[in-house]
Amino acid sequence: MVNIKSEQIYQLEKNYRISLINSLIGYRSLNLLGTTSNDGISNLCIISSTFHLGANPPLIGLVIRPEREHNDTLRNIKATGQYTLNNILPEWYMQAHQTSASYPSGVSEFDSCGFHKQYVKDFKAPFVEESNVRIGLELREVIDLDINGTTIVIGEIVHIITEDTLIAEDGTIDHSKAKTITVAGLDTYFLPHPIGQLAYAKPGIEPHLKQNDTKANV
């Protein structure tokens, strides 16, 4: 058993600390974030800091690192007010990872990393054709954090583009069937397998599988 305390964390070698801190909270939602500039130059980057903020209104938050010269994503979101989140599949996760490379401003990662743009009517931001769960969002709030210079972007879901066979009877997206992958830390990718779907928890009632779930693969 090891207890790494605050002062020791600050003394860790930089890359070691980055890997450790990034991997602490476990698996993270993994998406390709698609945007476009007002000039029509598309941008695509892998993102693992999205979080669910609420279902009514349907809101998703995400964290964008401090603005840099070649960081077009935040600039595009602010300029157009629209962006997309697209799930990542095992067949092309390496190309998705490649979008994290520092391409110069104005170079589209769609082209550089081999992805196809999909557009829908009256929505500027490009979706990823290779994904099978695609979310279109409209910007609602930008929160700049003094504490470390990052920016929290909050958007409302205005498009959900997927296969109807991937939506279960209760509304849950079947990410197992979709083959969505996840990441822990900066660079280690995983394909999850279902353990079980549990019934709504109530005090005094033992936790149990949801009735329509016959899986219990622990």
117-120-121 Cα angle (round to 5):
140
Least distance (Å) between residue 11 CB and a copy of itself: 12
Count the alpha carbons within 13 Å of 72 in the hemisphere toward its beta carbon. Answer: 26
For a copy of itself, the binding residues in 51-80 under the rule CB under 8 A are 51-61, 63, 65
Going by their DSSP bridges, the two strands 42-47 and 31-36 should be labelled as: antiparallel
**Residue 48 sits in the site that holds a copy of itself (CB under 8 A):** yes
**Residue 17 sits in the site that holds a copy of itself (CB under 8 A):** yes
CA distances from 106 to 34, 102, 103 (A): 14, 11, 8
Least distance (Å) between residue 139 CB and a copy of itself: 12
Least distance (Å) between residue 73 CB and a copy of itself: 15
Count the alpha carbons within 13 Å of 49 in the hemisphere toward its beta carbon. Answer: 12
For a copy of itself, the binding residues in 166-185 under the rule CB under 8 A are 167-168, 170-173, 175-176, 180-182, 184-185
For a copy of itself, the binding residues in 101-160 under the rule CB under 8 A are 101-104, 107, 112, 120, 133, 135, 140-141, 143, 145, 147-148, 150, 152, 154, 156-160
Least distance (Å) between residue 75 CB and a copy of itself: 19
- Distance of alpha carbon 29 from alpha carbon 31, whole angstroms: 7
